[in-house]
Structure 1
Amino acid sequence: SGGDRIEVVRSALVRDIKLAPQNIPLDILYEDEYLVAVNKPSGLVVHPGNGVRDGTLVNALLHKIGTLSEGSGSERPGIVHRLDKETSGVMIAAKTNNAHAAMAAAFANRSVEKHYVGFCFGELSESHGRIDLALERSRRDPLKRTSSKNGKPSLTEYWLLRYRAGVSAIYFKLHTGRTHQIRVHCSSKGFPILADSLYGGGRERLMRVAPLDRPFAAKVFKSFSRQALHARYLSFIHPFTGLRVHIEAPFPEDFHSAMIHFGDHDLFRAPPGLTK
């Protein structure tokens, strides 16, 4: 999501929504009797609410899996954490209430390893660094998050994998999972996620790329109709087997297209020294 939120509360706003199973294609990455992991496509909302009544990941899971946990309330069965609508990549859902409680605790105590990849505008001054900025909901725009001394502690680690002509390919490790975390952290440091118009990575930012660099940056930019962010990898200790589970989400077409422009299909291999 640039961040996951742990789901343990009920919302009064969507009580009237009847959750119907819907036959929406799903790419299942992992499944056992307790958990299921999917490669969420960009554009798919995770659960109903905020005016969205159906056509969500929850509706798809109900059709594909059937019974899901109720740890987040009956409106969000199975949902332990979330990805933003336009962020693609690996997401875990719980089938049983015990599995839900265990995974919610794992996300809360930060024992789940979460890696993302993305393209940003600009060249980072360091090849490896951390962004430690507390975040809260923006008072001016409730859809946005902003950095604030009084916000929730938020920590993103990043590695610059490649820079070319105004665009950086970056590998991220989330140490916390706040809403829009990567997107706000990158924007606050002056390298917004490509095509993320909410946080300064839209077309107007493309026009500020140096003229000699702009043709290449424009090609990469045009690969995306959404923010260029993908939840690549998730790892955790299985709550019932005690074994470590590793889940990697294949890249969607827009990322493949952008990687072709960089001339490297292996552009986002994990940095040396980062455990996977």
Structure 2
Amino acid sequence: MTAPTIALITGASRGLGRNTALKLAAQGSDAILTYRSNRAEADAVVAAIQALGRRAVALQLDVGDSRSFEAFADQVRQALAAHWQRTQFDYLINNAGTGIHASLAETTEAQFDELVNIHFKGVFFLTQRLLPLIADGGRIVNVSSGLTRFALPGYAAYASMKGAIEVLTKYMAKELGPRGIAVNVVAPGAIETDFGGGAVRDNAQLNAYVASQTALGRVGLPDDIGGVFASLLSPDNRWINAQRIEASGGMFV
């Protein structure tokens, strides 16, 4: 019997990370989930994955604190040994993030630094720290945003970090290619989650505007995105590498 694949998904206690974990579980993958502060939400995702017949564990991680990554990698190593009797996992999904909406003129240095630490520095150095634990032939998927292709006022700092992630993805693919590790980036459009205070979900005017600018005529849902990640990690898509894949329903086409 073939051993199950194991995915490590950051920020998987809610939103897109949660949906991705469940889609992957339905596809046959086990999971190591990270959460920042809400243990109860993370445990609920673990229970949902177990209900699908897969194995999962939840570990606390603040992706904005690179000083914690060495200890986190040790926790991952211990979890792999205890729950899977393995030394490596197969898929890394750098999903955890936060949203800040502020104009170029109003963005504070503290806000900028928080975005750098979570969305760019965190992804760079967490991936670096976990490289020995990713199996050869594995996959990495980073998360960007439709905002790197189109510009909306108030997202200059956030979108800039995501632009950096898109460049980093190409370099990861190039440097990890000799190990057979494919690296891609998924760029969601506007999605109804609690991200950024839930504005897209809860602000009716904003929701209607986004829907009017989307070819498929509505705002995206988490269920529209989780399957994109799961599909990218399926054996059929092993030859897709170093690509930006936008999942926005056709925003601003």
Provide TM-score, normalisation by structure 1: 0.28
Provide TM-score, normalisation by structure 2: 0.30
Q: Which structure dedicates a bigger proportion of its chain to helix? A: 2
Q: Which structure dedicates a bigger proportion of its chain to strand? A: 1
Higher radius of gyration, 1 or 2: 1
